[in-house]
Amino acid sequence: MQKRELGRGLEVSAMGFGCMGMSFGDNKTSPVSHDDAVAILRRAVETGITFFDTAEVYGPWTNEELVGEALAPFKGEVVIATKFGWRIDPQATPPMRGFDSSPARIRKVAEDSLRRLRVDCIDLFYQHRVDPAVPIEDVAGTVRDLIAEGKVKHFGLSEAGAATIRRAHAVQPVTALQSEYSLWTRDIEGEILPTLEELGIGLVPFSPLGKGFLTGTIAADTHFGEGDIRAGIPRFHGEAHAHNMRLVELLGDIARSKGATTGQIALAWLLALKPWIVPIPGTTRMHRMEENAAATAISLGADDMARIEAAAAAVPIEGTRYPPAMMALVER
């Protein structure tokens, strides 16, 4: 698999792997056993994927432990990203109980994550969400100190706005921004993508398959299990679902002409946009992981990209990507 560079000097595979769903979020709809999860992660490395994304809050904590165990045989061969920034109540659902990006909390998360991930240094350390109570300069400065101490290699932000990105970057260069970005979530295109390009910051899109919607496998009567965040996302339901499926159908036409799946076209579109974009689709199925990895071999020319853009323009997405309470946590 080809490599890409995030920021200045972080080389990763062109396709990453989002590990969250193996322990958190929507895994109850398609649960995966511990042994199967380990097998999928190790097989991902064999397919060429070297970039894995986790966070302390996923589980909480169990996802980091899973990733640490699965990837221990590949120490030095893979890049692991994790995150800080929440107060966590492990008995609550969801476990996030407000922000906490205080310097002391960042340092504690770093130490705990190093242990759970079984590594000597965190490759990429993201602030999971912007904490309005802590100046971003203090956050960036704390991570800068951890980098100087050899505990972290690179600094990242997640779902941050352009102004915050600039302020953080002035203190400690930001290697990557992680934000939701796909053919049905494009709000970062106006201001944030140009900012990243100007500053030389990579983009790591999470939910690049629209939490599974862009694969065409989610029907109007799909039942989302207890704890599945998609149960509360407006665009998955009712009239919004029926309308949004038209985009999937148009992408399916393009996919058939390329001998690909609809999901692969959605991923290949991201890869074709910029050389500094690295999607991190997640899955709990071995064949889906292999399908996602194979998307890196799909070449989309100018005509293909024009067809995809025409399809997206023909179907403006209906429904927000999160319930209102979660939308309030996204900085724009």
Q: 155: pLDDT confidence band, cut at 50, 70 and 90?
A: very high
- pLDDT tens-place string over residues 237-247: 999 999 999 99
- pLDDT tens-place string over residues 164-213: 999 999 999 999 999 999 999 999 999 999 999 999 999 999 999 999 99
**Alpha-carbon gap, residue 166 to 196, rounded angstroms:** 9
Alpha helix stretches (DSSP H) within the chain: 34-47, 62-71, 103-117, 136-148, 162-171, 192-199, 238-258, 262-273, 286-294, 302-314, 324-327
Angle among Cα 147, 149, 151 to the nearest 5 degrees reads: 65
pLDDT of res. 224: 87
pLDDT of res. 38: 98
pLDDT of res. 148: 98
pLDDT of res. 181: 98
Among the listed residues 147, 122, 129, the one whose alpha carbon sits nearest the alpha carbon of residue 68:
122
Please give the backbone phi and psi of residue 105, each rounded to the nearest 5 degrees, phi first.
Answer: -70, -40
pLDDT of res. 30: 62
Q: 26: pLDDT confidence band, cut at 50, 70 and 90?
A: low
pLDDT of res. 134: 98
pLDDT of res. 24: 86
**DSSP string spanning 107-144?**
HHHHHHHHHHHT-SSEEEEEESS--TTS-HHHHHHHHH
Among the listed residues 155, 157, 166, the one whose alpha carbon sits nearest the alpha carbon of residue 131:
157
Please determine, for residue 325, whether its predicted confidence score (pLDDT) is greater than 90.
no
Q: 49: pLDDT confidence band, cut at 50, 70 and 90?
A: very high
pTM value? 0.96
pLDDT-wise least confident of 25-29, 126-130, 248-252, 289-293 = 25-29
Radius of gyration of the chain (CA): 19
Contacts (Cβ under 8 Å, ≥6 apart) of 96 = 57, 86, 87, 88
Domains in the chain, CATH or no CATH each? 3-210+274-298 (3.20.20.100)
- pLDDT tens-place string over residues 251-300: 999 999 999 999 999 999 999 999 999 999 999 999 999 999 999 999 99
- HSE toward the beta carbon, residue 175, CA cutoff 13 A: 23
CB atoms within 10 A of CB 327: 11
pLDDT of res. 93: 83
Please determine, for residue 227, whether its predicted confidence score (pLDDT) is greater than 80.
no
**Alpha-carbon gap, residue 186 to 207, rounded angstroms:** 12
pLDDT of res. 249: 97
58 is catalytic: yes
Please determine, for residue 27, whether its predicted confidence score (pLDDT) is greater than 70.
no
Catalytic residue among 58, 126, 181, 322: 58
Q: 328: pLDDT confidence band, cut at 50, 70 and 90?
A: confident
Tell me the mean pLDDT in the region 144-165.
Answer: 98
pLDDT of res. 28: 52
Look over the chain and give the mean of its residue pLDDT values, rounded to a whole number: 95
